[in-house]
Amino acid sequence: MRVVIAGGHGKIALLLERLLAERGDQAVGLIRNPAHVTDVREAGAEAVICDLETASADDVAVLLAGADAVVFAAGAGAGSGAPRKDSVDRAGSALMAEAAEQAGVRRFVQVSSMGAGQPPRPGTDEVWAAYITAKTAAEADLRARDLDWTILRPGGLTDAPATGRIRLAPPPVPAGTVPRADVAAVIAALLDNPGTGHQTLELVGGDNPVATAVQSIS
Ligand SMILES: NC(=O)c1ccc[n+]([C@@H]2O[C@H](COP(=O)([O-])OP(=O)(O)OC[C@H]3O[C@@H](n4cnc5c(N)ncnc54)[C@H](OP(=O)(O)O)[C@@H]3O)[C@@H](O)[C@H]2O)c1
């Protein structure tokens, strides 16, 4: 399987690239910073330069030729302000989804966030509100497209080692945390289970082995 990952140098993306390479799949990491090429290659993926805030859907569609799936794992990141929540977390996902439609790549896994899907609470910090608004809009954009999408909303991300055990279900799932390594394993399993298409799933740490949890909602 050839999988193109937007945000290819992100923490989840690098873990996913390793998992895909280990099982013989071809991962392609889209990155904006040429200094990240070595890390992406070391993770076993092909590195392709593509800035999601300047590329056109036509540009990205060319990069998706021959792909079997797209994973949106980019994000403006913790230090960014409200405008980049919109230009990366919302518009970057919409760009990838538009390009996937153009290129005929139907399978699309979007990394969203728990908290998306509801308006930000009144009085919420402005940047957090912009983040949740952007993720909610990115989800709505994806649901409206003719793609085999799965929206994955992890809880708070940690850098702890993989546990292999999760709680994965349609919302609402009680708030919690989850290691990025387990998120990567869930994405790899979702790619193997197209029956998870057209579902929005929330993810936190739990008791169920990843493969069992993913198969049970397929
Ligand atoms: N933090 C949490 O607790 C939490 C919870 C739930 C969901 N999430 C979501 O999970 C996703 C992945 O998380 P993570 O920790 O793996 O993220 P991460 O390490 O911050 O990675 C995000 C990647 O997106 C890339 N990116 C940003 N702007 C870009 C652009 N214009 N063009 C191309 N790439 C760009 C970044 O590249 P640069 O290095 O070049 O900036 C970075 O490699 C994000 O969407 C995040 O919002 C986070």
Burial class (CB within 10 angstroms; exposed 0-12, middle 13-18, buried 19+) of 138: buried
Residue list, ligand 1 pocket, CB within 6 Å: 7, 9-13, 32-33, 51-53, 73-77, 88-89, 111, 113, 154, 156-157, 180
CA separation, residue 79 to residues 62, 138, 151 (Å) = 31, 20, 24
CA separation, residue 103 to residues 13, 29, 57, 62, 150 (Å) = 22, 17, 10, 7, 18
**Average pLDDT of the residues in 19-38:** 98
Q: What is the pTM of this model?
A: 0.99
In this predicted model, what pLDDT tens digit does every residue of 70-129 receive, in sequence order?
999 999 999 999 999 999 999 999 999 999 999 999 999 999 999 999 999 889 999 999
Contact 80, 42 (CB under 8 A): no
Q: How far is the CA of 119 from the centre of ligand 1 (A)?
A: 22
Q: How far is the CA of 165 from the centre of ligand 1 (A)?
A: 23
Residue nearest to atom 12 of ligand 1 (CA): 73
Check residue 99 and give its pLDDT.
Answer: 99
In this predicted model, what pLDDT tens digit does every residue of 117-170 receive, in sequence order?
999 988 999 999 999 999 999 999 999 999 999 999 999 999 999 999 999 999
Q: Which atom of ligand 1 is nearest to the CA of 89?
A: 45
Cis peptide before 172 (omega within 30 of 0): yes
Q: Which of 31, 51, 159, 203 to mutate to test the pocket of ligand 1 (most atoms within 8 A of CB)?
A: 31
